[in-house]
């Protein structure tokens, strides 16, 4: 055998050896970071911690929760958009991800910079009033405030709860409605309980205990169907104001160009976690509807959500600079 041929064979053996070694390094081989686009204690943070703990046990690697709150979720999204697409950084965010590209003049990210991984759960927005309010339905509320000012509280300017309330109260009902924003859902709810505002617009889990405890009355669910947890609360559609839906969903995203096999693996693992009986029970108990599905299905849903919120933002004429 010639020296040239020996060198060639040796080189090929080395190449195949390196390839086999690379393939033997299983994913993940280091900690995974979940960047939560909102502060600790919110629904995105709750989901990240719930899934993260089980994901760590399944994958045998630490799953780190990194809260990057601010600008309605834009700061966390921007962090992940600029991250290395190696399968070790994921974004955990809410429906704000689909709202913000239309709401903000410069959100700091583009949806095309991400790959949808898994849609985990959603819950409808709800309107609620103090137990002392004479209205017992959305129609009665509209009638009582026809010709006089109505105030409504939300967890902040530009939230989907804000857009929904503004659209329904002003564009659909034709009321003289004024938004009173608060720093979070709890103070917005407390304002309604105390009668400082006429209505609170917020996600269902945040207000369920107050409704079940008799401090507030549910006026209208922004859902296409009623939910068992609040079976006596009619939907906005049932109240005669159109098939309107505002669901606060929680999704996992990866930077664009993340390897497809990683996306498929993490999707399968999250789907398995969400399907577990104890996970489903926990989510349902606080007002969420658990979801499982493929990245393609999530991508299709995201397109519908982005288009829907673009129309709502346009019709309400609400925009934010930063």
DSSP state of 234: P
Average pLDDT, the chain: 91
Q: Which one of 4-8, 42-46, 183-187, 233-237 scores highest in mean pLDDT? A: 233-237
Q: What pLDDT does residue 40 have?
A: 87
How does pLDDT run across 104-145, given as a tens digit for each residue? 989 999 999 999 999 999 999 999 999 999 999 999 999 999
Count CB-CB contacts under 10 A for residue 70: 13
CATH of 124-230, one of 3.40.50.2300, 3.30.70.1400, 3.60.60.10, 3.40.190.10: 3.40.190.10
Indicate the domain borders of the chain: 32-123+247-316, 124-230
**CATH class label, 32-123+247-316:** alpha beta
Could you give the C-alpha distances from 98 to 64, 72, 301, in angstroms and in order?
25, 11, 10
Query: What's the gap between Cα 321 and its chain centre?
Result: 22
Q: In the structure, what pLDDT confidence band is assigned to residue 155 with cuts at 50, 70 and 90?
A: confident
Same CATH topology for 32-123+247-316 and 124-230? yes
What predicted TM-score, i.e. pTM, was given to this entire model?
0.85
114-118, 178-182, 187-191: which has the highest mean pLDDT? 114-118
């Amino acid at each position: 055998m010639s020296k040239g041929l020996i060198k060639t064979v040796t080189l090929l053996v080395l190449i195949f050896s390196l390839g086999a070694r690379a393939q033997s390094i299983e994913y993940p081989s280091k900690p995974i970071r979940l960047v939560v686009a909102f502060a600790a204690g919110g629904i995105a943070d709750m989901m990240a911690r719930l899934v993260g703990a089980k994901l760590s046990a399944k994958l045998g690697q630490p799953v780190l929760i990194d809260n990057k709150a601010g600008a309605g979720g834009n700061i966390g999204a921007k962090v992940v958009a600029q991250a290395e697409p190696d399968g070790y950084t994921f974004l955990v965010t809410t429906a704000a991800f689909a709202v913000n590209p239309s709401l903000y003049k410069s959100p700091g990210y583009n949806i095309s910079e991400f790959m949808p991984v898994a849609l985990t759960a959603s819950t409808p927005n709800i309107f609620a009033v103090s137990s002392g309010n004479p209205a017992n339905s959305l129609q009665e509320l509209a009638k009582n405030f026809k010709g006089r000012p109505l105030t409504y509280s939300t967890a902040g300017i530009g939230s989907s709860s804000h857009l929904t309330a503004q659209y329904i109260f002003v564009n659909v009902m034709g009321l003289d409605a004024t938004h009173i924003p608060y720093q979070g859902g709890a103070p917005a709810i407390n304002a309604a309980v105390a009668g400082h505002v006429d209505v609170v617009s917020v996600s269902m889990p945040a207000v369920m205990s107050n409704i079940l405890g008799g401090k507030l009355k549910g006026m209208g669910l922004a859902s296409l169907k009623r939910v068992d947890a609040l079976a006596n609360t009619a939907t906005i559609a049932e109240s005669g104001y159109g098939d309107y839906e505002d669901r606060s969903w929680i999704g996992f995203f990866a930077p664009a160009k993340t390897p497809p096999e990683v996306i498929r693996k993490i999707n399968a693992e999250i789907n398995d976690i969400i399907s577990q009986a104890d996970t489903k029970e926990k989510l349902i108990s606080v007002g969420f509807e658990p979801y499982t599905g493929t990245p393609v299905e999530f991508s299709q849903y995201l397109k519908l959500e982005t288009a829907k919120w673009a129309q709502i933002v346009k019709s309400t004429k609400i925009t934010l600079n930063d």
